[in-house]
Amino acid sequence: MIQEEARTIYEPGIILQEIPGGSSATRQLHPLSISRVKRLMKRSISSIPQLYRNVRRWTEILSVLSKYGLADWLSRLNIELLKDQLKSSTGGSLARESHHTRIRLALNELGPTFIKLGQLLSTRPDLVGGELATELQKLQTQVSPDDFEYVRTTVETELGQPLEALFDAFDEEPIASASIGQVHRAKICDGPEVVVKVQHQGIDRVVNTDLDILAGLALLAERVDEFKAYRPEAVVADLARSMRREIEFGREERNLVQFATIFDGESQIKIPGPVEELSTTRVLTMERLEGVKVSDIESLKQSGADLEDIAKRLAEAYLRMIFQEGFFHADPHPGNILVLRGNVIGLLDFGMVGRISERMREDIEEMLLAIMGKDVPILSTLIRRLGSIPPDMNEGAFANDLAEFVGTYSTTSLDRFNLSLALGDMMSMIRRHRITLPSEVAMLIKVLIALEGTGQKLSPKMSIMELMHPFRQSLLLRRLSPTRHAKKVRRIMLQLEQLAEDLPSRLGQIIEQIQLGKFDVHLDHRRLGPSVNRLVMGLMTSALFLGSSVMLSMQVPPILLPGEGLWGIRDLSILGLLGIMTSMAMGGRLMLAIRKSGNLDRQS
């Protein structure tokens, strides 16, 4: 029996749903649930174009972009008076700032989602270049905090009890306010001191609106050749995934638990533990860590902390997370790292984490070993395996650049090896050859660069590569591990088993399609459209020229300059003359188009 679909009936003042049954007499009307009504309304609203649904936000974005675009234009003029007319949110002259600085200021003015976009792009020097990536690292996410009444209402609504019944003390002034939420000190009733992270008011709506707009802008940007190389749709997809994970505090709570498990038994690394019963998707309560930020070097020195030892243990902790666990804290800037009593290192803010698969981790390990071992062919193979290679890449130039890179850095001693500089040069080389890396690899490279920068603030002599040297032996031993090879064999066997199961049915389907005459081969051509158009236009031009020449020679009427003519020119066919002139104009246009494309004199 075919199930009939429920029909929605709209009566004055009430929304009912007709439930299908065996006969019209047995059908009943039931009030629709609120959630069902919301889903119906949401479905209707989603059909409205993005531009009209978010017109106010679109207007704000276009206004800011227009202002900074005008400032970019004014910066090229030598009229000093005009350069001071446009001001940034801090009061500075926009036209006197560099192009990259204006991009950062524009993103900062557009709000949290665009700030996060800039921070994401700062991890992708392979897409935007090293200079812009460095500038975008200066983006700050400090925003104005919400009123305490909103904080109280949110906490009480989420946790289901009055604030006083949950906490003996709760500071009204936040100790920090970032893009997603703000953090308050508190003390649990008859319990320890904690910090409570509360989502900003309406942040989910703002983020979803901005992501919706960015998705539309990315779709448009994909059609512009100038922006296509930046892979806007992929970047916005990464941003959407990252932002939605950060908004859900439950995910950060799980991250805290997982990192605490990784460092369980490690007395020198401290991860704040979450308080599960006082945490939801919008409120996160966790253990308070009291210490000095690693950016405050003077206070650390006055406390007698061993800075060199702290830098070494911090780097070793991250190398362990990356190369042993494949799961790492992705934001190691100085504000997220504390030094507690006894030189214990505390890590904060686990909203942004990175994961790399075992296969990708092995490729990165092999890449580092190839740099140390001066093995250019293996390094080239690994870059090709990790990245997306453009079909028209100059293989010879890439091989030369890679050999120069390895030759430059492989001769440097480990204690003097500048990992940040080496990775920066590698990313510049990769961008120069238009190779695109996976977002996970780009994030890992950013983490290593930030880690070395933070470590060298503590100890200028610290070298990540020198600390990685002991890992080299463990990496080689892991390559030879019977357990690793057993896992690889098992993975291959599972793939072969799946192939053996699917192959007969797939072959049967192909044979059946051939017998029924439905087997089609689809060919995907690339860049043939312009070539075919030019070929057709060339044939039409030559045909018109030949036909017009025949008309001129046959003196097809109507005739121009009959009889004696002018300067010896007489009896010209007007149609033939017009055809000749038209064919010459078409031929000239065709030659200009070919010349503009750069393919007229190019040697294969």
State the distance between the two ends of the chain, measured CA to CA, in whole angstroms. 66
Q: How high is the pLDDT of residue 142?
A: 63
Q: How high is the pLDDT of residue 140?
A: 64
Q: How high is the pLDDT of residue 158?
A: 92
Of residues 23 and 534, more confidently modeled? 534
Rounded CA-CA distance 164/142 in Å is: 28
Of residues 12 and 203, more confidently modeled? 203
Kindly report, residue by residue over 61-107, the tens digit of the pLDDT.
777 777 666 556 555 555 554 555 555 555 566 666 777 777 888 78
Q: Taking the alpha carbons of 533, 536, 542, 546 in that order, is the dihedral positive or negative?
A: negative
Quickly state the pLDDT bin for 167 (edges 50, 70, 90).
Answer: very high
Q: Give the other-Cβ count within 10 Å of 323's Cβ.
A: 20
Cβ–Cβ < 8 Å for 82, 93: no
Report DSSP letters for 401-429, one per residue.
Answer: HHHHHHHHHTTS-GGG--HHHHHHHHHHH
Q: How high is the pLDDT of residue 154?
A: 92
Residue 41 has pLDDT above 50, yes or no: no
pTM (two decimals)? 0.65
Rounded CA-CA distance 108/439 in Å is: 22
Rounded CA-CA distance 410/394 in Å is: 24
Rounded CA-CA distance 501/487 in Å is: 21
Helix count (H) and strand count (E) of the chain?
25, 16
Cβ–Cβ < 8 Å for 313, 345: yes
Angle between helices 464-479 and 439-458 (to 10 degrees): 130
Of residues 206 and 567, more confidently modeled? 206
Average pLDDT over residues 43-66: 61
The highest-confidence range among 23-32, 38-47, 191-200, 468-477, by mean pLDDT, is 191-200
Cβ–Cβ < 8 Å for 130, 109: no
Of residues 576 and 417, more confidently modeled? 576
Q: How high is the pLDDT of residue 434?
A: 80
The highest-confidence range among 15-24, 152-161, 397-406, by mean pLDDT, is 152-161
Average pLDDT over residues 192-199: 92
Kindly state the percentage of the chain with pLDDT values over 70.
77
Average pLDDT over residues 398-411: 81
Q: How high is the pLDDT of residue 61?
A: 76
Kindly report, residue by residue over 305-341, the tens digit of the pLDDT.
888 888 888 888 888 888 888 888 887 777 788 999 8
Residue 466 has pLDDT above 90, yes or no: no
Quickly state the pLDDT bin for 25 (edges 50, 70, 90).
Answer: very low
Quickly state the pLDDT bin for 599 (edges 50, 70, 90).
Answer: low
Quickly state the pLDDT bin for 524 (edges 50, 70, 90).
Answer: low
Average pLDDT over residues 132-156: 82
Q: How far is CA 86 from CA 75, 77, 100, in A?
A: 11, 14, 17
Average pLDDT over residues 449-458: 82
Report DSSP letters for 262-324, one per residue.
Answer: HTTT-TTEE-PPB-GGG--SSEEEEE----EETT-HHHHHHTT--HHHHHHHHHHHHHHIIII
Candidate from 15-29, 111-125, 356-370, 572-586 with smallest mean pLDDT: 15-29
Averaged pLDDT of the chain: 76
Of residues 196 and 391, more confidently modeled? 196
Average pLDDT over residues 282-302: 88
Q: Taking the alpha carbons of 183, 276, 187, 333 in that order, is the dihedral positive or negative?
A: negative
H/E stretch holding 520 reads none
Quickly state the pLDDT bin for 285 (edges 50, 70, 90).
Answer: very high
Rounded CA-CA distance 594/598 in Å is: 7
Rounded CA-CA distance 530/536 in Å is: 10
Closest by CA to 458, choosing from 289, 328, 343, 330, is 343
Closest by CA to 182, choosing from 192, 170, 173, is 173
Instruction: Report long-range pairs for 503-509 (Cβ below 8 Å, ≥24 apart).
Output: none
Q: How high is the pLDDT of residue 12?
A: 36
Q: How high is the pLDDT of residue 567?
A: 64
Residue 585 has pLDDT above 80, yes or no: yes
Cβ–Cβ < 8 Å for 185, 288: yes
